[in-house]
Structure 1
Amino acid sequence: MKVLITEYVLSTYYGDNSIIDLMPEAIAMVRSLVRSLIVSRAYVGVTISPFISSSLLPINGNVIRVDPHDYFNEVKRVSGDFDYVIAIAPPRELIKVVDVIDDGKLLQPPKNLIKLFSNKYDAIKELSKCGFRVPKTELITSNDVNNHVQQFHSPAVVKPTYLAGSECVYLVNNDYELRRALAYAINCDPDGMAVLQEFINGVHGSISIVYGVNGPLFYSLNLQFIKNDAGSLHFIGGILPIRKRELQREVEGLVHGIFSCYPELRGYVGLDVVWNDGGIHIIEVNPRPTTSIAGIVSLYPGFGRHILSTYSKDAMGTIFLGDAVNGYAYYVLYDNDSEKNLGTDDIDKEVISVFQRS
């Protein structure tokens, strides 16, 4: 099976600093995906910008240099040589790139669900209709900030509707912080919109899932590390898998419940969640591989076989990572400006460090 991995940040970098902060996670996800798919005997191609040193991706896959200024057309052209494609990108760009790929080639959710879940407001609204626990969430534009400030209840989280990870995400506790955070988030968002979300007290984590035609094939519950830097929230790493049995049973029910509501789901899906005595709350949906894949593959190199089984009608059963492996992996982002010199040819360090412990 021939699989193309196309990661927006790695493919569109052309020497500026506008997307450099997303580079560590991009490299970690691609490295891990390539490793696990090759172990599972797939032929793998990876699109990459000519402005990035090949030493940043010491992989055995076929590196395909693409024009970063014509990325979407390049992906359309290159994808014709592959059986399947896995696209990774920030939400708005992800919608655009899957639009140029043939429907039957996506090893991930279909285009309509990628569009739905990429919008942080629409995703929560739809999940609420299916009966899942979600935070109260409001959509805000620059024209109606005053109305929402008057109805504000602290604490709350403000974030853009279409950005990835923890870009421009803020925890606010009063009117002043809310106005400032909304201005930043609206300015960050490509559509000039932000969401104001109830802050759920509890343990922050994520759920990594692979869906096939018959339902979930794999899932893992992961702990997330979130840094609060004077109200600005940043994801800095995580630990997996969490094996608490009572929690695992609830996660398994949630994973199957989402498939019951959206039976067309396929491939890797990541959920950002918070759990407390009231249960598991879904905060966001990522219809693409997430950073947790770095920890998963370090413990379970054969993870790629589940992704390759996305369209197999013979794939049965659901594997929980905590039952499939021993020990734990924890992964942390480097915070070192010297690692950001992407023009050198001798960088061979892991840009995300992954450690294993029993």
Structure 2
Amino acid sequence: MTWAGALRGEGMTRIFVYEPLSADDPGTTQALGRGTPAHEEMLAAGRGMRDAVAADLARIAGLAVTVATGEQEAGHALRTVRRAAPESSIDFVRRQALLHDLCWIVAPESDGLLLRLREAVGDARWIGCSAAAIRVASSKKATCAVLATAGVATPLAFAKDHRGPWIVKPDDGAGTLETRRHATRAAAEHDVQHRRAAGRHAVAQAFVEGEALSISMIAGPDLARPLAINRQRLAMDAQGWLHDLGVQPAAIAAADARTATLHALASRVASAIPGLLGYVGIDVVWNEREGPVVIEVNPRVTCAYVGLSALLRRNVAQEILALHAAARSGEVAADVPA
């Protein structure tokens, strides 16, 4: 059965794909500074994720895909729409949602953006996590507290008597933006106070030594299906600022001794945060002494999605749509094809 048959019974099922930076969202662009290295880096990442999702969707029978683009972007293989100034990005997404059957939004949690976009789209058309799950995952402090209560290792487990470096980052930040390592806890706390005085929400965490990994998984009611374990490439400059050098999808083989433990961890995270649905990314540091330590949970598509369908030799977007269809119809997660 095509998606048209599953959702409307006739015609094509219309799906809207939106990523704020590639769609020239003025707020997100202004926050990064148009043309700055941070803006260019995040713009490239945003376009990559948007196009990976859209390409997977375009291969599914019965779907008509629309992609939001910006004025500076020349040409696209799929149907495109643009925000009409002075229309706000939220109003633009709300209007497009009414013109489509489904919406797949790729956006950061920063400043509540992902949550506000979810509210604009509404439950019926949204592909992704619940508002409650996004609210928890949008705060690194709240995420660590919830996971620690569930017995999942987080940087909180290292805080007491930690004499090593500390990390300061935005509580709702994405990637490594404004993330800085300090040699001492006192220096980190000073940084936090400085940021809060400027009106920015920041958290300090004990720096966890180890290999930076991430888990790509599909989550749903009673379901946590790991898709791949990825390696994150990070660098630190002389001032302690962290920089994201990209991700290597599916870098950790199934035969790796850590794989079973990481798969079990994904299930525990999904159980600890109800409402995770669809693609979810879990950032992890593998510590030699403690094993996997969860740093944050991303309730949305991450950079590791790019190229993932080709690596796995199956359409990840199709699996996610099947899961959402099953969730809406009340079918059990086990009935969703692997």
Q: Could you say which structure has the greater relative contact order, defined with CA pairs below 8 angstroms and 6 or more residues apart?
A: 1
Within the alignment, does 1:202 sit opposite 2:214 as a pair?
no
Matched, 1:59 2:77: yes
Quote the Cα distance in structure 1 between the aligned partners of 2:286 and 2:323: 28
Aligned to 1:167: 177
SS in 1 for 2:43: helix
1:247 pairs with 254, 258, 270, which one? 258
AA in 2 matched with 1:233? L
- Report the 3-state secondary structure (helix = DSSP H, G, I; strand = E; otherwise coil) of the residue aligned with 1:209: strand
Q: How do 1:268-279 residues align onto structure 2 when only pairs under 5 Å count?
A: 268-277=279-288, 278-279=290-291
Q: Contact 1:168/1:185 (CA < 8 Å) preserved in 2?
A: no
Question: Is contact 2:219–2:276 with CA below 8 Å preserved after alignment?
Answer: yes
Separation in structure 1 between the aligned mates of residue 174 and residue 257 of structure 2, nearest angstrom: 31
Structure 1, unaligned stretches of length 5 or more? 139-147, 321-358
Shift of 1:234: 1.1
Gaps of 5+ in 2: 1-12
Provide, for residues 35-68 of structure 1, a one-character-per-residue CA deviation record: whole Å limited to 9, x for no partner. Answer: 111123332212223x22234xx333x2111136
Aligned counterparts of 2:114 and 2:169: Cα–Cα separation in 1: 18
**Greater share of strand:** 1
Q: Distance in 1 between matches of 2:44 and 2:163?
A: 35
* Cα 1:38–1:212 shift into 2, 3 Å: farther
Q: CA RMSD in A?
A: 2.8
Listed as ranges, the matches of 1:76-95 within 5 Å are: 76-91=94-109, 92-95=112-115
Q: Shift in Å at residue 13 of structure 1?
A: 4.4
Question: 2:4 corresponds to which residue?
Answer: none
Deviation per residue, 1:279-306 (Å, 9 max, x gap): 2111011111000111313423522211
Change (3 A) 1:162 1:263: closer
Once the two structures are TM-superposed, the CA of residue 17 in structure 1 deviates from its matched residue by: 3.4
For the structure 1 residues 229 and 105, does the alpha-carbon distance in structure 2 shift closer, same or farther, using more than 3 Å as the test? same
| TM-score normalised over the length of structure 2 | 0.80
Identity of aligned pairs, percent? Answer: 23
| 8 A Cα contact 2:170 2:178, kept in partner | yes
Q: Tell which deviates more after alignment, 22-31 or 262-271.
A: 262-271
Report the counterpart of residue 6 of structure 2 in structure 1.
none
Contact kept? 1:107, 1:267, Cα under 8 Å: yes
- 1:47 aligned partner: 68
Q: 1:267 aligns with which of 278, 285, 291?
A: 278
Matches for 1:124-135 after TM superposition, within 5 Å:
124-135=144-155
How far, CA to CA, are the matches of 1:122 and 1:68 in structure 2?
36
The TM-score with structure 1 as length reference comes to 0.76
Q: How many Å separate the matches in 1 of 2:58 and 2:285? A: 33
Q: Is the 8 A contact 1:12 1:68 kept in 2?
A: no
3-state SS, counterpart of residue 100 of structure 1: helix
Change (3 A) 1:252 1:68: farther
User: In structure 1, which of residues 236, 247, 261 is the aligned counterpart of residue 245 of structure 2?
Assistant: 236
Opposite residue 236 of structure 1, the aligned amino acid is: L
Q: 2:334 aligns with which of 279, 300, 316?
A: 316
Amino acid aligned to 1:160: P
Query: Displacement, 1:262?
Result: 3.5
Alpha-carbon contact 1:213-1:310 (below 8 Å) kept: no
CA contact (8 A) 1:209 1:270 kept: yes
Deviation at 1:172, TM superposition (A): 0.9
Task: Describe the shift of the 1:197–1:59 C-alpha distance in structure 2 as closer, same or farther (beyond 3 A).
Answer: farther
Q: Is the 8 A contact 2:170 2:203 kept in 1?
A: yes
Counterparts of 1:184 and 1:237 in 2: how far apart (Å)?
29
**How many residues end up aligned between the 2 structures?**
303
Residue matched to 2:90: 72
Residue 109 of structure 1: how far off its partner (Å): 0.6
Shift of 1:213: 3.6
